[in-house]
């Protein structure tokens, strides 16, 4: 497996927006680009596929520089957000399209077609027109069509965006299984953190045309390097704090809260100064000892498997917490909370 299967180092300027990206994707990897709408993730996909041309930099796929290689010659599959299935062709016609324009022989084409129809359970729909298909079926045809000419790389631009939640979850699992089975390299664009976290080997969080952090899902989720990453992936409490280095470790003083000591692990934070303390709601615990904040419960929502609540602490700080249902919570109560220290992350303020 080649670690630097795809190397991207590009920049693209638009009048109102600019994108710079530097990334490496390994062979067989399922890589996600995640970020809000307009962060540049679709633009990056279009640059990789050749549908857009970068102003600077290059893209190297399996050792070959793609600069100047036409879209049609790149052998990069693309699954579009609204599928872009050819309305004048049948399911079969759509899947075969790439094989025909690449001049596969009839025998090869038919073999490949049968294979794909079986793989995507589309046999009975082979002669249907696209207009007669459901959303999920269209999605499968789009995927089959993109994979048909055996691309070196598959790009997926929010392929589940148009589907309802349940179907999206099912197809997500199917896609993951398929990728594991066939082993193709995929770059998946989504603005849904849940999708990115559950699918990818690694992911990149983007915002405003920049890549903020790259890493595996647990890494990026638990150790966000940037406040935006923390907020974008899941719910997060971000509390301004000061850090001093003491003999026992780091002395953390959250704004309007009680100071506590954090053992130094791996020397990740060694510099004293101002930081943002990131703690996930599920890592805030109701406590009587080592209380960091005490405050009034503002909102209490019953979620079935537990409660979601917001605690108003001093200095206008509202803490989001998620607790198990064994705890009885009521709005108006005053409770103390502390943090699970190992889940806490200090993000430097630049």
**Among positive and negative, which fits the CA dihedral 75, 41, 187, 191?**
negative
289 interacts with another protein by CB under 8 A: no
Nearer to another protein, 152 or 308 (CB): 152
What's the number of CA atoms in the CB half-sphere (13 Å) around residue 294? 6
70 interacts with another protein by CB under 8 A: yes
Nearer to another protein, 5 or 78 (CB): 78
For residues 254 and 338, is the Cβ–Cβ distance under 8 A?
no
Length of the chain as a residue count:
350
- Which residues within the stretch 138-167 sit at the binding site for another protein (CB under 8 A)? 145-146, 148-149
Q: What's the rounded Cα separation, in Å, for the pair 297 and 121?
A: 51
Q: What's the rounded Cα separation, in Å, for the pair 5 and 3?
A: 6
145's tokens: 């069509």
12 interacts with another protein by CB under 8 A: no
Nearer to another protein, 84 or 248 (CB): 84
Stretch that binds another protein, among 65-73, 171-179, 239-247, 318-326 (CB under 8 A): 65-73
Stretch that binds another protein, among 33-41, 47-55, 162-170, 209-217 (CB under 8 A): 47-55
72 interacts with another protein by CB under 8 A: yes
Nearer to another protein, 78 or 339 (CB): 78
Nearer to another protein, 56 or 102 (CB): 102
Give the nearest distance from C-beta 160 to another protein in angstroms.
17
Nearer to another protein, 62 or 282 (CB): 62
Contact with another protein (CB under 8 A): which of 14, 17, 86, 302?
Answer: 86
75 interacts with another protein by CB under 8 A: yes
Nearer to another protein, 14 or 86 (CB): 86
Helix (H, G, I), strand (E, B) or coil at 6: strand
Stretch that binds another protein, among 82-90, 107-115, 225-233, 265-273 (CB under 8 A): 82-90
For residues 60 and 7, is the Cβ–Cβ distance under 8 A?
yes
84 interacts with another protein by CB under 8 A: yes
Q: Give Cβ neighbours of residue 348 (< 8 Å, ≥ 6 apart).
A: 271, 273, 275, 276
Secondary structure (DSSP) of 159-198: TTTTS-HHHHHHHHHHHHHHHHHH--EEEEEES-HHHHHH
Nearer to another protein, 85 or 252 (CB): 85
Place of tokens 């917490």: 321
Contact with another protein (CB under 8 A): which of 42, 43, 49, 213?
Answer: 49
Beta-bridged to residue 57, according to DSSP, are 10
88 interacts with another protein by CB under 8 A: yes
78 interacts with another protein by CB under 8 A: yes
Helix (H, G, I), strand (E, B) or coil at 74: coil
Contact with another protein (CB under 8 A): which of 35, 40, 77, 257?
Answer: 77
**Residue among 69, 332, 34, 86 nearest 212 (CA):** 34
Give the nearest distance from C-beta 93 to another protein in angstroms.
10
Q: Give Cβ neighbours of residue 86 (< 8 Å, ≥ 6 apart).
A: 93, 94, 97, 130
Instruction: Report in angstroms the alpha-carbon separations of 205 from 37, 38, 135, 301.
Output: 12, 13, 28, 30
Give the nearest distance from C-beta 65 to another protein in angstroms.
19
Nearer to another protein, 141 or 279 (CB): 141
Give the nearest distance from C-beta 156 to another protein in angstroms.
12
Residues engaged in binding another protein (CB under 8 A): 49-51, 70-78, 80, 82, 84-88, 97-98, 100-102, 145-146, 148-149
């Amino acid at each position: 497996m080649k670690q630097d299967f795809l190397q991207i180092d590009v920049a693209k300027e638009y009048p109102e927006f600019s994108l710079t990206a530097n990334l490496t994707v390994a062979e067989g990897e399922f890589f996600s680009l995640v970020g809000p709408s307009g962060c540049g993730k679709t633009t990056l996909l279009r640059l990789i596929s050749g549908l857009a041309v970068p102003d600077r930099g290059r893209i190297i796929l399996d050792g070959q520089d793609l600069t100047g290689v036409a879209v049609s010659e790149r052998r990069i599959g693309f699954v579009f957000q609204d599928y872009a299935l050819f309305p004048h062709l049948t399911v079969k016609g759509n899947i075969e399209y790439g094989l025909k324009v690449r001049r596969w022989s009839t025998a090869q084409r038919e073999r490949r077609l049968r294979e794909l129809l079986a793989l995507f359970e589309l046999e009975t729909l082979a002669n249907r027109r696209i207009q007669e298909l459901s959303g999920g079926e269209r999605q499968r045809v789009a995927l089959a069509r993109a994979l048909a000419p055996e691309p070196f790389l598959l790009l997926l631009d929010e392929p589940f965006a148009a589907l309802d939640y349940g179907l999206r979850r099912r197809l997500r699992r199917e896609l993951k299984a398929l990728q594991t089975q066939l082993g193709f390299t995929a770059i998946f664009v989504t603005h849904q953190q849940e999708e990115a976290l559950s699918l990818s080997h690694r992911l990149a969080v983007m915002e405003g045309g920049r890549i903020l952090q790259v890493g595996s899902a647990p890494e990026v989720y638990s150790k966000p390097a940037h406040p935006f990453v923390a907020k974008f992936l899941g719910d997060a409490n971000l509390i301004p704090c000061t850090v001093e280095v003491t003999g026992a470790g780091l002395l953390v003083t959250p704004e309007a809260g009680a100071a506590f000591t954090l053992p130094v692990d791996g020397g990740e934070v060694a510099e004293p100064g101002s930081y943002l303390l990131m703690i996930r709601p599920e890592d805030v615990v109701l406590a009587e000892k080592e209380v960091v904040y005490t405050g009034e419960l503002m909102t209490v929502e019953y979620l079935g498997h537990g409660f979601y609540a917001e605690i108003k602490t001093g200095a206008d700080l509202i803490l989001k917490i998620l607790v198990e249902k064994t705890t009885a919570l009521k709005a108006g109560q005053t409770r103390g909370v502390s943090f699970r220290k190992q889940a806490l992350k200090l993000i430097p303020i630049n």
